[in-house]
């Protein structure tokens, strides 16, 4: 039985919101519908206000944003850089899903994962 010792590589086409303009319509629609649901429900609105006024959450959010910007702005190069970028994108998606779960939006994670997977998956 022979063993393959070559290196397996996967080539990805660089995509972003700027190179995929079709993502804007579903993403804006998703954000609008989600905002409408949150602001029409007093309990969800209170949860969002509680989250926004929490200093620990806001500090963590600033750190997450800064870290993500740093990672995603790295120039393309080796496989390690691409792995860090992919991990950062997936972590951002996980964070968004966690916030949606906190706001008790049950169907929203399905749609955000579908939109991101369809339009921005590399």
Q: What's the whole-number average pLDDT of the chain? A: 84
User: Could you tell me if 38 and 48 are in contact, meaning their C-beta atoms sit under 8 angstroms apart?
Assistant: yes
| Residue 5 domain-assigned (yes or no) | no
The confidence band for 65, taking pLDDT boundaries of 50, 70 and 90, is very high
Instruction: Give Cβ neighbours of residue 104 (< 8 Å, ≥ 6 apart).
Output: 43, 44, 47
| Residue 15 domain-assigned (yes or no) | no
| Residue 55 domain-assigned (yes or no) | yes
The 10s digit of each residue's pLDDT in 11-25 is: 444 544 444 558 888
| Residue 3 domain-assigned (yes or no) | no
Q: Examine the pLDDT at 30 and tell me if it is beyond 60.
A: yes
Cα 67 to Cα 61: distance, rounded to the nearest angstrom: 10
Identify the sign of the CA torsion 49, 53, 55, 59: positive
24-40 vs 108-120: helix axis angle to the nearest 10?
170
Least confident of 19-33, 42-56, 69-83: 19-33
The confidence band for 46, taking pLDDT boundaries of 50, 70 and 90, is very high
Which percentage of the chain shows pLDDT scores above 90? 57
How many domains are contained in the chain?
Answer: 1
Q: What residue numbers bound the domain in which 86 lies?
A: 22-120
| Residue 1 domain-assigned (yes or no) | no
Cα 84 to Cα 110: distance, rounded to the nearest angstrom: 24
User: Cα Rg for the chain, rounded, in angstroms?
Assistant: 18
What number is the average pLDDT over the span 85-105? 93
């Amino acid at each position: 039985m022979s063993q393959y010792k070559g290196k397996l590589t996967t080539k990805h086409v660089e995509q972003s919101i700027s190179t995929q303009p079709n993502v804007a319509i579903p993403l804006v629609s998703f954000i609008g519908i989600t905002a409408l649901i949150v602001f029409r429900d007093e309990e969800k609105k209170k949860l969002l206000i509680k989250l926004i006024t929490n200093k620990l959450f806001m500090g963590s959010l600033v750190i997450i944003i800064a870290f993500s910007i740093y990672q995603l702005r790295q120039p393309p190069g080796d496989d390690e850089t691409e792995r860090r970028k992919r991990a950062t994108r997936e972590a951002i998606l996980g964070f968004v899903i966690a916030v949606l779960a906190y706001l008790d939006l049950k169907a929203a994670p399905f749609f955000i994962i579908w939109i991101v997977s369809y339009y921005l998956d590399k």
